[in-house]
Amino acid sequence: MSVSSKILQKSESFYNAYERKQGGDPISTHYCPGCGHGIVHKLIAEALDDFGVQDKGILISPVGCSVFAYYYFDVGNIQAAHGRAPAVGTGYSRANPDSIVICYQGDGDLAAIGANEIIQAANRGEKMTVIFVNNAIYGMTGGQMAPTTLIAQRTTTTPLGRNAENEGYPLRMSEIISTLEAPVYVARTKISDTKSINATRKAIRKAIKAQVDGRGFSFVEILSACPTGWKMSPRESEVWIEEIMAKYFNPGIYKDTIDTRQPKIQQKLIVDPKDYHELLDISTASLSSLEGVLPVPPVQEMIEEIKIAGFGGQGVLSLGYVMANIAMGHNYEVSWLPSYGPEMRGGTANCSVKVSHKRIGAPVVAHPTTLIALNKPSMAKFENEITSNGIIIYDNSLIDTAPQRKDVQVYAVPATELADKIGSTKSANMVMLGAYAALRGYLDTAYIEWAIPQIIKKKKLQELNIQAFKTGMEHIKELLKKCVN
């Protein structure tokens, strides 16, 4: 007699630990208590596992509370501009027709700035599944009125309640999408109790399966709680969904033509890379092909992951941009990933640069081999993330505490002080470029001096930046001489 058993465990479509989530507990999410996103995430991950499409999965998360969904999902992740997930999904799905594209959007995103994008993508019948989490407000930015905010509902921008005569009526997106010819499945569910969660699970699975089978565009709207934004307890939020929200946004299946649609077969067009520029009608000019370009050393086998961090306004992002362009001119594969967010308003800004002799799969730098720290908060934030035997270059004219790590090489460069002597504090980032080039050694000095004016177009800054670069190099050379002696 055989005994079957089912093991209950975290979905394989989730990471075991959320290492991309900086700070705090690596096994918990960033969502507030009572938030519905965690439940919806689990239902999506379970479906991807059960249908065996994790490796084909592409999750697109635009601006909103779920913008950091890539912390959790072990699938292909793409972040998109506010409201533009369907446009990004369209491009990816058409270029990679075997992929399973899921656009995960909120009401402040999909129904507002992204309303036209979603309607046009749905009308074209793009091969994607849209999960629309409707909590009737802008949750991430402080609880402002959204297109789905109910009449008389109070928000930070409608303190007396939404007024139809002034702000119009809440948009019923499922009803709008269902009037279009192309979508094959449109449903609205809620997550307020066990029964409704099971109904949501069924809808999500059906929507994703429709895409797996090549049927076309599917759309699931989910009424979800935002206790923090609503200023309610989690239990009060569940009651509000049942008694208020679901009365206006009626749950149900608004369209289901899956069984009557034939699978859409999309063939991936294979184009020879040599033909890209001709097909796109773009110039092939680059730093390595400009007239008068200097020769560069042969490419070394290496993978360099750089984190550059400092205050907004210190040229953190531009330093990364310059480094990536110079390395690309040396025929390396590169990526440059700037960090945009609240930290840009006076706190710690950062960017990630990867330099490799082979193709780069993702631009994220979790454990840098080199850290360039331009202020004290940056040192505190990233010192412990650098790999053992890595390099820390820090501006000791602004950072009065040396790094504590004993398993890394540490170099103090008074970049701001040296830049002041040159005549511009803003050139401190180029001082750091010189220090980095002197330490790592794979970038040609003459090429960098030639390339800086090609990248930084302001003529009055070009000579200044070259001088700052040279100053940084000389400082490191003198420092290394002292160490030898």
Domains along the chain?
37-260 (3.40.50.970), 303-484 (3.40.920.10)
- Residue 344 is predicted with a pLDDT of 41
DSSP characters over 199-252 = HHHHHHHHHHHHHHTT---EEEEEE---HHHHT--HHHHHHHIIIIIHHHS--E
- Residue 112 is predicted with a pLDDT of 96
Q: Which residue has the tokens 């990526």?
A: 335
Question: How far apart are the C-alpha atoms of 444 and 434, rounded to whole Å?
Answer: 11
Q: Which residue has the tokens 């480094």?
A: 323
Task: Identify which has the larger pLDDT, 2 or 5.
Answer: 5
Q: Give the chain's mean pLDDT.
A: 91
Question: How far apart are the C-alpha atoms of 77 and 58, rounded to whole Å?
Answer: 6
For the whole prediction, is pTM greater than 0.75? no
Q: Is residue 343 pLDDT above 50, yes or no? A: no
How would residue 481 be classed by pLDDT, with cut points 50, 70 and 90? confident
pLDDT digits (tens, 9 = 90+) for 354-393: 999 999 988 999 999 999 999 999 999 999 999 999 999 9
- Say how many Å lie between the first and final Cα of the chain, rounded: 79
Q: Which residue has the tokens 């912390």?
A: 71
- Residue 461 is predicted with a pLDDT of 83
Q: In terms of DSSP bridges, do strands 100-106 and 370-373 run parallel, antiparallel, or are they unpaired?
A: unpaired
pLDDT digits (tens, 9 = 90+) for 441-470: 999 999 999 999 988 877 778 899 999 999
Three-state secondary-structure class, residue 436: helix
How would residue 303 be classed by pLDDT, with cut points 50, 70 and 90? very high
- Residue 220 is predicted with a pLDDT of 99
How would residue 19 be classed by pLDDT, with cut points 50, 70 and 90? confident
Q: What are the backbone angles phi and psi of residue 429, rounded to the nearest 5°?
A: -65, -35
In terms of Cα–Cα distance, which of 50, 290, 90 is closest to 182? Answer: 90
Amino acid at 247: K
pLDDT digits (tens, 9 = 90+) for 157-205: 999 999 999 999 999 999 999 999 999 999 999 999 999 999 999 999 9
How would residue 480 be classed by pLDDT, with cut points 50, 70 and 90? confident
Mean pLDDT value across residues 30-55: 97
Task: Identify which has the larger pLDDT, 287 or 188.
Answer: 188
Instruction: Report residue 391 CA to chain centroid gap.
Output: 26
| The residue count for the chain | 485
Q: Is residue 346 pLDDT above 60, yes or no? A: no
